[in-house]
Amino acid sequence: MNPLIPLFVIVPLAGAFLIMILGRLIRNLDKYLASLILLFLVSVSFWFLLTTGDKVTVYKAGGWEPVNGIPIAIYMVLDGFNTLVLCIINIIGFVSVFYSITYMSRYTSENYFYALFCLMIAGMNGVVISGDLFNIFVFLEISAISSYALVAFGVEKNELEATFKYQVLGALASFIILLGIGLIYWKAKTLNIADIRMVFSSGYDRAYYLLIQILLLCGFGLKAAIIPFHAWLPDAHSSAPSPISAMLSGVLIKAAGIYVIIRLFFNMFAISQGMSVLITTLGALSMVTGVFLAIGQWDIKRLLAYHSISQMGYVVLSVGIGMMMISKGIRDEIAALAIAGGLFHLINHAAFKGLLFLNAGAIEYTTGTRDLREMGGLAKQMPVTAATSFAASMAISGIPPFNGFFSKLIIIIAAVLAKYYLLAVLAVIVSIITLASFLKFQRYAFFNKSDDQNKRNIKEVPFPMLFSMIVLSIICLLLSILALPGIRETILMPATDILMDPSKYASQITGI
Amino acid sequence: MIPYYLCFILFLVGLYGIITRRNLVKIAISLSVMEFSVFLLLALTGYREGGVAPIVDPTDPVKVYVDPLPQAMVLTAIVIGLATTAMIMAVIIRIYRKYGTFDIREIKNLRG
């Protein structure tokens, strides 16, 4: 029992409540309270990252002990994998909320914004720490509903249209997920992920099992915007206020989509050949299609949103390669390498895509446009934005010494070692096209000198926005050290181990 | 087995509505239909032949009880569903104020 685990949900929930009540009475309370909450969560999640290691700690809500070895309480679980995801959620959350202090001052009813933001953080943290399928659904809906509201925060034509699309597809995904959970409960009579694993390991109906897997893959695939389900992502992510775009693209699609897919397909279902082929194919498809859709975009945030699909494709692809290797039962070290590469890219993508959306927000804040063709020559007027966005662009295109290079390298090496040469070649090609597309972004936004007359009063953005961008660009550089042998073992290996050895996860949780 | 198939048919009716309707409010209604078909299925998973409400009576050991957990889950899910519906209706009203129409074919600012 670790009594600190529920803090990840309780603190932001209480914060949202307090901001709603006190925010009207005390001026500027909302901004600083939200920043403080996120700062606290960042420090707690870091502390867990350093202390968790190989251990699996559990919090049982209400203190209900298992009866005859069957867990009946709501379990909150902390292991090597989800501490990593918690860290990225809270860091990107802190940076975005600090950035919002000036960015959101142009909008009205700011206290609603900060309350919804805290609610979204609570939902995402809840999804990640929950060890129970139904609670994953509940927290998923908390984060989803607050993100619907946040996407529509500008209440203009585009925002409303985007949020309507997002809501219809998001609600569809939720029902499909709920249907899958109901079907699981019908057969397994339990909702605890570890216990479901135990129940299904003693035999199951193959067709039924496959139906559940397909339903959950569709549902969480819709939340994660893997390619056949991606229609809502470019609209929603480009219409939201920029700090929210950074949250949605940087963490929400990972916490609510990719994280749950990885967790369920490694730790709950037995890995099968068919599913791993399907997941790898979906990953490769989103990797390639996403980048081709991105290259023709002129709206900065739309371009970045399509790149999110493509970069998530890398993560799904490499996790799929890991599943494939495990299902063949040979050469576990390649599977471990592929999964570690995927998780590393997941972390990296949060850092650089968050930074890129904050840069796009800064450009929009000063120039008032998102169209690349109307910008140009901003490098002189906005040197910090230009430098940080250059760092992020190089990171996402995989140029050393930035973090994106190392994770893509690991993924490509894993694909080559696993003898999927076609996938390795595709990954390289997609990386090159990404580079081309970001060179276009850099050239049109910052260098391509246009007429100076209409650019006269453009200044660098205020301090909170600068601070957030600088912090994230430093994180982009620092994350490269995760590829070093000594550090990789302490940070990435616990996460890979818990995924590689699903019986360990199940036995540790039900055994406690 | 018939109630389970009817739930599935209701689910498909909702899905059909979401795909084919052009009116925003009708899409919201179709979403609700789909939502409640899932809730019905969840409630049915707790059904036992001849089961009674799970108020345990120690004097009668052979009594069959229905499973109360899916009922609790459905209650939670209904609350969430209410929040989703309220949110989507609020957005639809705002869209009507901005565009002056409920027709989804005329609401297409975002493309590409």
Question: Using the beta-carbon criterion (under 8 Å), do B107 and A161 form an inter-chain contact?
Answer: yes
What does pTM read for this prediction? 0.93
Question: Using the beta-carbon criterion (under 8 Å), do A162 and B110 form an inter-chain contact?
Answer: yes
| Predicted confidence (pLDDT) at residue A198 exceeds the cutoff of 60 | yes
Q: What confidence category does residue A456 fall into, taking pLDDT thresholds of 50, 70 and 90?
A: low
| Predicted confidence (pLDDT) at residue A396 exceeds the cutoff of 70 | yes
Q: What is the enclosing helix (H) or strand (E) of A59?
A: strand A57-61
User: What are the tens digits of pLDDT across the range A77-100?
Assistant: 998 888 999 999 999 999 999 999
Mutate which of A155, A186, A301, A302 to disrupt the B interface (most B C-beta within 10 Å)? A186
Rounded-to-integer distance, Cα B28 and Cα B88, Å = 7
Rounded-to-integer distance, Cα A114 and Cα A139, Å = 18
Question: Using the beta-carbon criterion (under 8 Å), do B109 and A155 form an inter-chain contact?
Answer: no
Contact residues on chain B for A158, CB-CB shorter than 8 A: 109-110
DSSP, collapsed to helix, strand or coil, labels residue A184 as: helix
- For residues A408-437, give the mean pLDDT: 92
Handedness of CA A127, A130, A136, A141 (dihedral sign): negative
DSSP structure class, residue A63: T
Mutate which of B34, B38, B66, B74 to disrupt the A interface (most A C-beta within 10 Å)? B38
| Predicted confidence (pLDDT) at residue A452 exceeds the cutoff of 60 | no
Question: Using the beta-carbon criterion (under 8 Å), do B87 and A297 form an inter-chain contact?
Answer: no
The fold adopted by the segment(s) B2-51+61-106 is: Helix Hairpins (1.10.287)
Q: What is the enclosing helix (H) or strand (E) of A303?
A: helix A300-328
| Predicted confidence (pLDDT) at residue A114 exceeds the cutoff of 90 | yes
pLDDT at A91: 93
pLDDT at B112: 53
pLDDT at A496: 86
Q: Are A82 and A128 in contact (CB under 8 A)?
A: yes
pLDDT at A473: 92
Nearest residue of chain B to residue A162 (CA atoms): B110
| Predicted confidence (pLDDT) at residue A48 exceeds the cutoff of 70 | yes
* Closest CB from B67, B84, B98 relative to A145: B84
Mutate which of B36, B91, B105 to disrupt the A interface (most A C-beta within 10 Å)? B91
DSSP, collapsed to helix, strand or coil, labels residue B52 as: strand
Rounded-to-integer distance, Cα A226 and Cα A280, Å = 11
Nearest residue of chain B to residue A152 (CA atoms): B91
| Predicted confidence (pLDDT) at residue A277 exceeds the cutoff of 80 | yes
Rounded-to-integer distance, Cα A181 and Cα A203, Å = 18
Rounded-to-integer distance, Cα A54 and Cα A498, Å = 8
| Predicted confidence (pLDDT) at residue A272 exceeds the cutoff of 60 | yes
Tokens of A3: 């009594």
Tokens of B60: 């009668």
Q: Does the complex come out with an ipTM higher than 0.90?
A: yes
pLDDT at A69: 76
Nearest residue of chain A to residue B32 (CA atoms): A171
Q: Are A309 and A293 in contact (CB under 8 A)?
A: yes
| Predicted confidence (pLDDT) at residue A53 exceeds the cutoff of 80 | no
Q: What confidence category does residue A451 fall into, taking pLDDT thresholds of 50, 70 and 90?
A: low
Q: What confidence category does residue A121 fall into, taking pLDDT thresholds of 50, 70 and 90?
A: very high
Question: Using the beta-carbon criterion (under 8 Å), do A138 and B76 form an inter-chain contact?
Answer: yes
Q: What confidence category does residue A3 fall into, taking pLDDT thresholds of 50, 70 and 90?
A: confident
Along chain B (112 residues), what's the average pLDDT of each consecutive run of 10 residues? 89 92 92 92 86 81 84 92 93 91 82 59
DSSP structure class, residue A89: H
The full set of domain ranges for chain B reads 2-51+61-106
Q: Are A129 and A5 in contact (CB under 8 A)?
A: yes
Contacts of A380 (CB under 8 A, 6+ apart): none
Lowest mean pLDDT, pick from A54-58, A225-229, A351-355, B61-65: B61-65
Question: Using the beta-carbon criterion (under 8 Å), do A145 and B87 form an inter-chain contact?
Answer: yes
Contact residues on chain A for B84, CB-CB shorter than 8 A: 141, 145, 167, 171, 174
Chain A residues within 8 Å of chain B (Cβ atoms): 134, 137-138, 141, 145, 148-149, 152, 155-158, 160-165, 167-168, 171-172, 174-175, 178-179, 182-183, 185-186, 189, 191, 234-235, 239, 296-297, 302
- For residues A232-244, give the mean pLDDT: 90
| Predicted confidence (pLDDT) at residue A490 exceeds the cutoff of 90 | no
- For residues A376-395, give the mean pLDDT: 87
- For residues A50-76, give the mean pLDDT: 84
Tokens of A213: 């897997």
Question: Using the beta-carbon criterion (under 8 Å), do A161 and B11 form an inter-chain contact?
Answer: no
| Predicted confidence (pLDDT) at residue A41 exceeds the cutoff of 90 | yes
pLDDT at A455: 57
Amino acid at A226: I
- For residues A233-262, give the mean pLDDT: 91
Average pLDDT, chain A: 88
| Predicted confidence (pLDDT) at residue A492 exceeds the cutoff of 90 | no
Mutate which of B73, B102, B106 to disrupt the A interface (most A C-beta within 10 Å)? B73
Q: What is the count of residue pairs from A and B with beta carbons less than 8 Å apart?
A: 91
